[in-house]
Amino acid sequence: MRNTWKLLAPLALAAQLLAGGFYLQVGNPAASKEAQQLGAVMTIQAAGCHDPATAKITAVAIGIVNGERREMPLKVVAMSTPGMFAVTQPWPKEGKWVVRLEGRNPDQYTNTLIGVNANGVDRGRFREDMHQFSSADVEAMLK
């Protein structure tokens, strides 16, 4: 029995890794009446092979305004669809900003950096990773 477990444990891990992942899809709030009512600047869908209802999302705006670095937590509101969230925009229109999203469920982690500007999400500036971004990663997005 003991040897069987030694053989099956790596296979179970490989199956979990190959079965899919956990990632965040950034959406346009104009596509959702609920997101519009919440005043969202973006929607986030927790996706991949997991139970979306267990996903927890946090968001932080990180920016440079007049040469000064600022950070502010963002309000993330769970929407009626499990795994769907709305994010509002409290950051000022001046300066250069990125939003760092972190997603967790009981077994997985992902995070995303998204460039934002005065008009909302800058779809040309976007990075996703299963490991936490470093300060250098954030700084590169702010340049």
Residue 1, domain member (yes or no): no
Q: Using CA atoms, how far apart are residues 106 and 84, in angstroms rounded to an integer?
A: 17
Query: What does pTM read for this prediction?
Result: 0.79
Q: What is the pLDDT of residue 38?
A: 95
Q: What is the DSSP string of 128-139?
A: EESSPPPHHHHH
Instruction: Tell me, yes or no, whether 14 lies in a domain.
Output: no
Task: Give the H or E element holding residue 111.
Answer: strand 109-117
Write the CATH number for 87: 2.60.40
pLDDT value for 9:
39
What pLDDT is recorded for position 123? 74
- In this structure, which long-range contacts are made by residues 43-46, counting pairs with CB atoms below 8 Å and at least 24 apart in sequence? 43/79, 43/84, 43/85, 43/86, 43/87, 44/76, 44/84, 44/85, 44/86, 44/87, 44/101, 44/103, 45/83, 45/84, 45/85, 46/22, 46/83, 46/84, 46/85, 46/103, 46/105
Domain membership of residue 54 (yes or no) is yes
**Residue-level pLDDT at 20:** 64
pLDDT at residue 87, as a whole number: 95
Look at residue 4 and tell me if it is in a domain.
Answer: no
Domain with 99 in it: 21-142
| Residue corresponding to tokens 């199956």 | 15
Count H helices and E strands in the chain, helices first. 3, 9
How far apart are the C-alpha atoms of 26 and 99, rounded to whole Å? 11
Residue 43 lies in a domain: yes
Beta-bridge partner residues of 85 = 44, 78
Write out the chain's pLDDT in tens, 143 residues. Answer: 444 333 333 434 444 444 568 889 999 999 999 999 999 999 999 998 778 888 999 999 999 999 999 999 999 999 999 999 999 888 888 889 999 999 998 888 899 999 987 777 887 787 887 778 888 888 888 88
**Count of the separate structural domains present in the chain:** 1
